[in-house]
Structure 1
Amino acid sequence: MKAKQLYTKPAIVGLTLLSSLVLSACGQSVESDGNSNNLANIKTTTLASSNLKFSEHYLTRDVRDDVFYFVMPDRFDNGDSSNDNGSKTIPESAGGFDKTSNAHYHGGDIKGLTKRLDYLKGLGISAIWLTPILRNQAVQGDSSGYHGYWPLDFTEIDPHLGTNADLKEFIDAAHDKNMKVFFDIITNHTADVIKYQECHGDGKPLFSTSKQLCEYVSLADKAAGKGYTPFIPKGHENLKTPAWLNDPKYYHNQGDSTWQGENSIYGDFMGLDDVDTDNPEVVKGMTEIFNNIISEFKPDGFRIDTVKHVNMEFWQQFTPAIIEHAKTQGIPQFFVFGEVYSGDPQELSKFTTEGDIPSVLDFAFQYRTKDVFAYEKGTDNLNDLFSYDTLYNDHNSSADYLMNFVSNHDVGRLAYTLDQSLPEASEQEKIKRFLLSNSLMYFARGIPVLYYGDEQGFTGDGGDRGAREDMMPSLTPDYNDNNLYGTDKTTADDNFDVSHPIYKKLAEYAEVYHGHEVLRKGTQKVIEHNDEPGIFAFTRTLKDHPSYTVIYNSAKSAKKFIAANAANHKVVYGEVNQQKNEFELAPLSFVIIKTI
């Protein structure tokens, strides 16, 4: 006789399934019910996530115990409208505010983040990663520095976002809730201030934001005297802080990068001034800059931008130095991870081993997860991904520390990919695929990183600007015409809805994650995969703990998984039909079981 195993409440907090919901990992049909927004009307039970106790104090908590939330402050919430136009005293950091444009400031700020901390904690978030917050050149060409990647001043936050005091209050408030704060930092470049006589001219400054104005000059040509003649436009000689950043000798000055070959390291990113990180004085100066930031603000770690576009020797010196400095400031678990925009584990792992950066964002995870759950490829794609995990092993890194993600501000949102890859699928089916992808982000090796707005069903318009919607009510037509998953709302509405079914489901994942150490730190071993959609299963094991098995069915029909033995199994999460050691999974579902 078949016994039906149901999801069991974690010991830490009582949870409930969203019963009869296609979102849940249970035996439900993937056929459409004819109502694309049906999910918004499903009755759900309030979770107790706001009372969640994270495993340990933030200062001593292992980063593998954290759930990250990646947020762009300008697009989150406006807590102080008086700073919407930026600086009142520095013209270069003023203006650029236009809520109707997806390329300009929208008014979100640090105070807005502070007032939403309970919203994040209710989602199970224990670490908040902010896009760069240092003072930017507000306008370059036809867009603004709302994203934070055009820094001028490395000592204060952008006035569009608030003040240094606001930032300290935010960090203190997060720490009071036992939540960590991570800064996004840039060492590769500064704002576009330096110009070249040969291609920019001496008139009105031109910016390479829409096209490359200055062809790249190779190292060989530069050594032969064929380089550019850099100059700083009159009145801009002292725009950058610290002062040494104003001297062109500390930059490569070789023209615009095409992101290929040597110019990937030595070229300007669309005109952004490429710092000469080969120079020992620059290494020393950059280390001092970020040591000072650690000393003043006491963040819990850094995400480093454009890592593969900086010479490897820089990372070998810079990263250990700032981690050691953080320890002297009473931050023993200070954690650093880099952005290496590549889906190749062999390239990604070079920076955690040879480069001595403890972790990187796992772009390979993002690509392969989309392959399986959005493009309906075989689950052997996931096996192939994880087969490279040993490449990351060294004295301070392993695949356990990789930052798993499925959406971000550059590649775009997973929901957008699903809309493009499965245009005829029902919204319910796409949400199930969305949630399967996110669940793998939580329960496979690595650390989950949720992109802001995904929990509210944001779909976006592609990568870059298309994936940077407002959580607060938006006035941007390009965003407001998008269909959001699981709700009748649009981005024109306030989207801090703790009753949204996707928010609730991701909060459940976080509670299971926080409640089971093996799912955070256990050794992973793939035990079943297929060359077509279907079963993908892996175990997580940790000394002195029961073993866990996580089983996925990526097919649109029920599939069976046969456990290796007939030992007693307890369902930790999900719903499955079980007969002895045979588990039948419904279409597009997953289940977590442990051996007891």
Structure 2
Amino acid sequence: MIAVPVLLSLATGAFAASASEWQSRSIYQVLTDRFATSDGSGPSCNTGDRKYCGGTYKGITSHLDYIQNMGFDAIWISPITKNIGNTGYGDAYHGYWPSDLSGLNDGFGSADDLKELSAALHKRGMYLMVDVVVNHFAATSTPPSLTYNGFSPFNAETDFHPFCFITDYNNQTQVEQCWLGDTTVALVDINTESQNVVNTYNSWIKNLTSFYNIDGIRIDTVKHVRKDFWPEFVKSSGVFAIGEVLSNETDYTGDYTNYMDAVLDYPSWFAVTQAFASTTGNIALIAQNIPETQKYFKNGGISTGAFLENHDQPRFQSWTTDLSLVKNAMAYTFVTDGIPILYYGQEQGYTGGLEPASREALWFTSYQTQNKPLVDHVVKLNAARKASIAGDSKFLSTQMKVVANNTHNIAVQKGKLLTALTNVGSQGAAEKFELTGTGYSANEQLVDVLSCTNITADASGNVNIAFTGGNPQVIIPVSQLSGSGLCGSAKSTTTTTFVRK
């Protein structure tokens, strides 16, 4: 354990990276233990063993080119605090079994290593997001054999909710006050009704973000903590906060955006995965989800994080290996209202199923980017979004709309970024799609940036496209290509070093 007492004491420092500053970013999620080793080695890593494999902060720092060259300008790393040791379910290599807020998980590296990663990101104009766990500490026993004095700083029984496992997820009191986990690894639910706990947490998060120059936090298991705990915690952090609320209900999930800056858009994830996991998927779910999100989420879907994969869910390619379906599903996360988030390994076509299978080591790919169709896809999607932001000052605040949809196809538009998606699959018949009400000028020159196919709007500004090979189309005006690096245009090389204000 590496002691970092400053995290629980008063630290000086100002804060930055607001919600509005994060909206233009795209995030690459890293499972710290599985991304890169300090010395560049490639040790064996059997996900089924649930053991530490050797990924570190130094490893991430040495591979920032790989991340940035795909167009990402922020990373999200695993929780950094000290975790419990070996359990019946293996090691806490993922970081979600905390036991001591004053220490670091030394499997990932030292405090200096983390500071160096933060500084290296900021030098590149990139942001650092750190995962934090507030709901629980972890233990390998339950009452009456559980003792609380091994935890820090919460080490009294009154710092935790009385023992009970959640049995009814429709009972919000149970969800917030009973325990996750089981008798092998119990997630001991912290008593966030206690003012002492509240004060300690608020001081801890303030000092954590300042000490490591963190720009944003992702908060684990948000729905398992009372809602009115969150505003002061987020305010104390001084940075952008996005929470995990695992639910397919838009109204339930969206309500949490009234308590923090944003949430991960799980309702859209359920819709997108069901729409594109097979050629019989239900595209209508996406069309239904968009207005629901805009109704129930603060600022509409803008206050969300859009994703296709993460460490808790099976990888999308465990459901389908049809590359056209994969490309359509991936495209949606970059053209929607929320902040795009890509889980490491997705760009390499990883196919792991339910965790721990979805937590593979990336070093087996040697970080190759040549002849990698999904790497190329991600580069283009990031560039298209950035071109749209650069070409339209209102792009980020403009809510997306459904232009058209039918059994297999849907077209959505945000500003002048028009995206046509299909789930016919790579062997599907070519289909024509007529898109009206796009707002394009008569005869405006457009381009599908994925194929670099030129398209001309008709005299009414309508667009007629044809799907080939089941591939998506991401269309922007030719006038927005400048500086994007897309379709033969030169890429802007300007990099702004980020300095915390």
Q: Where does residue 261 of structure 2 map in the other structure?
A: 358
Is 1:114 paired with 2:61?
A: yes
Shift of 1:188: 0.2
Q: Secondary structure at the match of 2:71?
A: coil
Unaligned runs of 5+ in 1: 1-57, 85-96, 201-229, 327-333, 420-429, 474-492, 542-546
Alpha-carbon separation, structure 2, partners of 1:101 and 1:560: 45
The answer as to whether partners of 1:577 and 1:585 remain within 8 angstroms in 2 is no
**1:431 corresponding residue in structure 2:** 323
Tell me the CA shift for residue 195 of structure 1: 3.6
**8 A Cα contact 2:32 2:55, kept in partner:** yes
Distance in 2 of aligned mates of 1:163 and 1:469: 23
Shift of 1:128: 0.2
Q: What do the CA deviations read for 1:510-548 (whole angstroms, capped 9, x no partner)?
A: 112112214544332212122x112x122323xxxxx34
- TM (norm. structure 2) is 0.81
Q: Which amino acid aligns with 2:157?
A: P
Quote the residue 1:468 is aligned against: 359
State the secondary structure of the residue aligned to 2:120: helix
Cα drift, residue 321 of structure 1? 3.1
Query: d(CA) in 1 for partners of 2:178 and 2:75?
Result: 31
Q: Relative to structure 2, which stretch is displaced further, 557-566 or 434-443?
A: 557-566
Give the Cα separation in 1 of the matches to 2:324 and 2:131.
Answer: 31
Q: Distance in 2 between matches of 1:308 and 1:578?
A: 47
Aligned to 2:339: 447
Counterparts of 1:129-140 in structure 2, within 5 Å, are 129-140=76-87
Query: Could you tell me which of 279, 284, 293 is aligned with 1:389?
Result: 293
Match of 2:231 among 303, 311, 316: 316
| 2:495 corresponding residue in structure 1 | none
Q: Which residues of 2 match residues 391-540 of structure 1 at below 5 A? A: 391-392=295-296, 394=298, 397-419=299-321, 430-460=322-352, 462-473=353-364, 493-517=365-389, 518=392, 520-530=396-406, 532-534=407-409, 536-540=410-414
Q: Check conservation: 1:537, 1:551, Cα contact below 8 A.
A: yes
Residue from 134, 140, 143 that aligns with 1:187: 134
For the 8 Å contact 1:576–1:585, the answer to whether it is kept is no
SS in 1 for 2:231: helix
Conserved 8 A contact 1:553-1:590: no
The aligned counterpart of 1:251 is: 160
Taking a change above 3 Å as real, the CA distance of residues 76 and 591 of structure 1, as seen in their structure-2 partners, is closer
Write the mapping of 1:49-128 to structure 2, written as runs, cut at 5 A. Answer: 62-79=21-38, 101-128=48-75
CA distance in 1, matches of 2:104, 2:124: 23
Distance 1:251 1:193, change over 3 A: farther
Q: Which amino acid aligns with 2:344?
A: Y
Deviations along 1:432-451, one digit per CA (max 9) or x if unpaired, are 11111111110121111001
2:270 pairs with 334, 352, 367, which one?
367
- The change in CA–CA distance for 1:269 and 1:582 in structure 2 (over 3 A counts) is closer
1:495 CA displacement? 4.1
Counterpart of 2:5 in structure 1 is: none
- Give the equivalent residue in structure 2 for 1:46: none
Q: Give the conservation status (yes or no) of the 8 Å contact 1:548–1:595.
A: no
SS at match of 1:466: coil
Name the counterpart of 2:247: 342
Q: Does the 8 Å contact 1:76/1:472 carry over to 2?
A: yes
Q: Does the residue aligned with 2:302 lie in a helix, a strand or coil?
A: helix
Q: Residues 514, 577 of structure 1: CA spacing in aligned structure 2 closer, same or farther, 3 A cutoff?
A: closer
Give 1:560 shift. Answer: 2.1
- The alpha-carbon deviation at position 127 of structure 1 amounts to 0.7
2 CA distance for matches of 1:112 and 1:499?
24
Q: Does 1:264 align with 2:264?
A: no
Mapped contact 1:406–1:438 kept (Cα < 8 A): yes
Deviation at 1:305, TM superposition (A): 0.2
Match of 1:377 in 2: 281
Query: Identity rate of aligned residues, in percent?
Result: 26
AA partner of residue 540 (structure 1) = K
TM-score by length of 1: 0.69
**Who is 2:482 aligned against?**
none
Contact 1:362 1:403 survives alignment (8 Å)? yes
Matched, 1:166 2:113: yes
> Residues 341 and 579 (structure 1 numbering): CA distance in 2 closer, same or farther, change over 3 Å?
closer
- In the alignment, what sits opposite 1:283? 198
Q: Does residue 302 of structure 1 match 2:217?
A: yes
What aligned pairs does 1:15-34 form with structure 2 within 5 A after superposition? none
Deviations for 1:274-323, whole angstroms, at most 9, x for unmatched residues?
1011122211111111111012111001000000111112123322332x
With over 3 angstroms needed to count, the CA separation of the structure-2 counterparts of 1:502 and 1:548, relative to structure 1, is closer
What residue in structure 2 maps to residue 585 of structure 1? 466
Counterpart in 2 of 1:481?
Answer: none
Q: Which residue matches 1:423?
A: none
SS in structure 1 of the partner of residue 129 of structure 2: strand
Displacement of 1:98 in angstroms is 7.2
In the alignment, the residues of structure 2 paired with residue 273 and residue 98 of structure 1 have an alpha-carbon distance, to the nearest angstrom, of 29
- Distance of aligned partners of 1:161 and 1:344 in 2 relative to their CA distance in 1, 3 Å threshold: same
Aligned pairs, number: 437
Q: State how far apart, in whole Å, the 2-side matches of 1:158 and 1:282 are.
A: 22
The CA deviation at 1:401 is 2.5
| Superposed CA offset, 1:7-56 (max 9, x none) | xxxxxxxxxxxxxxxxxxxxxxxxxxxxxxxxxxxxxxxxxxxxxxxxxx
